[in-house]
């Protein structure tokens, strides 16, 4: 039986977290350095952006956890450490300084950065802040850690669930940052997940790689794939369950719990998109293939015209059909149906590829809610997919018009 619990990355046994202001960001009221630490060695797995321009921390983390193990995660906000001549040196020095203070190997550190691209990152505030960061490690430190990785986010993003594996109660929790520059082709933004379940590195990697195809790969805010996207998972085994080393029933339960965490984080990220007022969820059913279902769902959620219509609570279903038409999926237009749904109700707007009579007043009421479902039935098979996004508002342009300055 799985249930949602409090605690985020500190819900799992043996994990501590902290977040401080070290001086990277000018605003002293904003934390800009976060740490997650396990009392025991962890299996580790991660996925990274496929943007050819990558932040230096990604290359360092990839090397560090190539053996499948890690023990700590350190992340700064306010500076992406990307396109810097000494970026790798700064990332490696961060790992070395932290590891020295914690008494662990630098190779057991996941390092990440987020913020402005191309701005030199001085190691000094990080080096000077690490002792305080370590001293503030706490079982109740998830809130501060979640805050320390935020950039244009307006809300902290954290979640945790409890589940059973091998007769033991296990927990898995995560934090995320992400509000703009989100259109991943592997994972998304920065997401750090911890679990006290015992999972082998191979099975952890398999579970994460399989999960992101239906979660973080189905999330888009603005069509821009970040240079620093990373999702990392650490499993320390302190729940006491038998090691999950094959695709058995315990693996299935772990994968289900992981998915509960990642879906929740996807929804939080989409709802907090830059300038967003509404969470959009496109649910595609009746597809002939899984690939077609995913293509259609993501094409709809990425449509700037559809996103703008949702901002204005305009039931312009033609924009849904348009996005389906250029998705690249093989579809029969004459079998497509579209409906809009929210807490205020549901309304059918298209059947068999053509419009149906509907109340504009009711449609407006439905679309004025802050969570909107766009329901697409392709009428061609039994495959389905879900994608997440947000509306496109005036504030998105305002935020990004002076993001650097």
Residues near 227 by beta carbon (within 8 Å), at least 6 away in sequence: 49, 51, 53, 54, 55, 80, 82, 83, 117
Give the whole-angstrom CA distance, residue 288 versus residue 335.
Answer: 12
Distances in Å between the alpha carbon of 186 and those of 46, 212, 229?
A: 10, 7, 8
| Catalytic annotation present for 82 | no
Give the whole-angstrom CA distance, residue 323 versus residue 103.
Answer: 53
Which tokens hold the place of 243? Answer: 């090691």
Residues near 312 by beta carbon (within 8 Å), at least 6 away in sequence: none
Give the whole-angstrom CA distance, residue 17 versus residue 41.
Answer: 15
Residues near 103 by beta carbon (within 8 Å), at least 6 away in sequence: none
Looking up tokens 């797995």 gives 45
Q: Nearest-CA neighbor of 46 among 198, 228, 219?
A: 228
Q: For residue 147, how far is the Cα from the chain centroid?
A: 15
Per-residue exposure over 76-101, b if at least 16 CB sit within 10 Å of its own CB, e if not:
bbbbbbbebeebbebbbbbbebbbee
C-beta of residue 173 within 8 angstroms of C-beta of residue 139: no
C-beta of residue 130 within 8 angstroms of C-beta of residue 97: yes
Which is the catalytic residue, given 188, 194, 225, 262?
188
Which tokens hold the place of 250? Answer: 């315990």
* Pairing assessment for the beta strands 157-165 and 230-235 based on DSSP bridges: unpaired
Give CB contacts under 8 A, 24+ apart, made by 366-370: 366/315, 366/340, 366/341, 366/342, 367/310, 367/313, 367/314, 367/315, 367/340, 367/342, 368/313, 368/344, 369/278, 369/342, 369/343, 369/344, 370/271, 370/277, 370/278, 370/279
Query: Count of alpha carbons within 13 Å of 332, Cβ hemisphere only?
Result: 12
Give the whole-angstrom CA distance, residue 45 versus residue 4.
Answer: 23
Active-site residues, by number, are: 188
């Amino acid at each position: 039986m799985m249930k949602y619990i409090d605690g985020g990355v500190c819900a799992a046994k043996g994990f501590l977290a902290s977040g401080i202001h070290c001086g990277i960001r000018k605003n002293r009221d904003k934390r800009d350095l976060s740490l997650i630490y396990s009392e025991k060695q962890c299996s580790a797995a991660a996925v990274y952006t496929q943007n050819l321009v990558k932040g230096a921390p990604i290359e360092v983390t990839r090397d560090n956890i190539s053996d499948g193990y890690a023990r700590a995660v350190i992340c700064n906000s306010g500076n992406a450490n990307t396109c810097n001549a000494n970026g790798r040196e700064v990332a490696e020095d961060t790992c070395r300084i932290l590891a020295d203070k914690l008494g662990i190997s630098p190779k057991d550190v996941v390092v990440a950065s987020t913020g402005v691209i191309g701005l030199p990152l001085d190691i000094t505030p990080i080096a000077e802040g690490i002792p305080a960061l370590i001293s503030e490690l706490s079982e109740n430190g998830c809130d501060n850690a979640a805050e320390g990785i935020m950039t244009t986010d307006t809300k902290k993003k954290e979640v945790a669930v409890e589940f059973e594996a091998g007769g033991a109660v296990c927990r898995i929790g995560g934090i995320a940052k992400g509000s703009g520059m989100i259109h991943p082709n592997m994972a998304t933004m920065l997401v750090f997940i911890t679990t006290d379940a015992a999972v082998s590195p191979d099975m952890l990697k398999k579970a994460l790689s399989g999960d992101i195809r239906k979660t973080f790969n189905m999330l888009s805010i603005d069509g821009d794939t970040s240079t620093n996207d990373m999702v990392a998972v650490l499993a320390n085994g302190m729940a006491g369950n038998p090691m999950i080393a094959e695709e058995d029933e315990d693996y299935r339960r772990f994968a289900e719990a992981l998915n509960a965490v990642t879906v929740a984080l996807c929804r939080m990220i989409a709802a907090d998109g830059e300038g967003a007022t509404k969470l959009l969820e496109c649910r595609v059913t009746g597809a002939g293939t899984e690939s077609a279902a995913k293509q259609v769902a993501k094409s709809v959620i990425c449509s700037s015209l559809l996103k703008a219509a949702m901002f204005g609570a305009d039931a312009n279903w033609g924009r849904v059909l348009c996005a389906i038409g250029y998705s690249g999926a093989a579809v029969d237009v004459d079998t497509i149906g579209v409906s809009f749904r929210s807490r205020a109700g549901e309304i059918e707007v298209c059947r068999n590829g053509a419009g149906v009579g509907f109340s504009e007043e009711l449609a407006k009421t439905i679309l004025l809610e802050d969570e909107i479902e766009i329901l697409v039935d392709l009428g061609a098979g039994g495959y389905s997919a879900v994608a997440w996004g947000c509306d496109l508002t005036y504030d998105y342009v305002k935020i990004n018009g002076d993001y650097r300055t």
